[in-house]
Structures are given as structure tokens and as C-alpha cells.
């Protein structure tokens, strides 16, 4: 386990970084950007996989597998759908560049 203070500081640092990195986005890209970040919020799949896997190995029973599996599936819908939709949108912006 990592010390809570380290976790919190990682959170703070990333928050600041994230804040500065998209300061000057043209509103043209707000939708794809929002949808891209939406896909990224599916990153919780990582946590879901870890927790479900460990619960399986520890033999925590079928209920944990159902809850965990549901978490993984929902997050996967978020990730795959999110990146897919974002890609589709961005391709539309780019096709006339050729």
C-alpha cells in the first residue's frame, strides 16, 4: 500500500498539470476533447480489474465477481465507446485536410 499522503499529492500534481494543459482549447474542439476525456475517465477499469482479480484469487465469492465484473464491463463500455466516438468525430475534422 502506498502512503495516503503520496496518493493525495499525486492527485494534486496531476490536477494542476491537467488544469494548465488545456487552458487554450479552441471551442471548435470542445466536443471531441470532452468526449476524449470522457473516455479517459473510464480509466477506472484499471481499478476494477485489480479489485475483481484479487477478489477472485482470494475466493471472495460470486457476488464480488458480479459487482466487479459489472464495474469492468461498464468501464469498458466507457473506454471503448468513448475513444471510438472521439475518433469518429476527429476524423471528420481531419478529412478535409488532405
Partner 1 sequence: MSVIQIVISAILALLVLAGISMMSKVKTAVAGNLLSAFAMLAGVVATLLFTGVVSVWTIYVAILIGALVGSLMATRVQMIQMPQTVALFNGLGGGASALVGILSALGIGFSAEQQLAIAANGYAPFVRFTALLAVAVGMVTLVGSLVAAGKLHRILPQKPLIWKGHSLCTLFFLVLTLGFVIAGLFVRGGAMTVCLVGTLVAASLFGLWFSVRVGGADMPITISLLNSLSGVAGSIAGMAISDVFLVAVGGIVGASGLLLTQIMCRAMNRKLMSILVGGKGKPAPKQPQIPVKENEELVKRVMDLEKKIKELEAMVADLEARVKTLDGQIAGAAAAQPAADAKPTAASVLSAAKDVIIVPGYGMALAQAQHQVRQLADKLESRGARVRYAIHPVAGRMPGHMNVLLAEADVDYEKLYEMEAINDDFKKVDAVVVIGANDVLNPAARNAEGTPIYGMPVLNVDEAPEVIVCNYDLKPGYAGVENPLYTREKGVYLELGDAKETLMRLIAGIA
Of 95, 1, 98, 93, nearest to 35 (Cα)?
93
Whole-number Cα distances in Å, 29 to 11, 23, 24, 71: 26, 12, 11, 30
CB of 89 to partner 1, least distance (A): 5
Of 56, 39, 48, nearest to 72 by C-alpha is 48
In the complex, minimum distance from the CB of residue 73 to partner 1, in angstroms, rounded to a whole number:
4
Q: Considering the complex, what minimum distance in angstroms separates the CB of residue 51 from partner 1? A: 3
Amino acid at each position: 500500500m502506498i502512503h495516503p499522503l503520496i496518493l493525495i499529492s499525486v492527485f494534486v500534481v496531476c490536477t494542476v498539470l491537467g488544469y494548465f494543459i488545456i487552458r487554450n482549447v479552441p471551442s471548435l474542439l470542445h466536443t471531441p476533447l470532452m468526449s476524449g476525456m470522457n473516455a479517459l475517465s473510464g480509466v477506472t477499469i484499471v481499478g476494477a480489474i485489480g479489485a475483481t482479480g484479487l477478489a477472485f484469487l482470494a475466493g471472495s465469492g460470486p457476488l464480488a465477481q458480479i459487482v466487479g465484473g459489472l464495474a469492468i464491463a461498464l468501464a469498458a463500455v466507457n473506454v471503448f465507446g468513448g475513444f471510438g466516438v472521439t475518433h469518429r468525430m476527429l476524423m471528420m475534422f481531419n478529412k478535409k485536410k488532405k
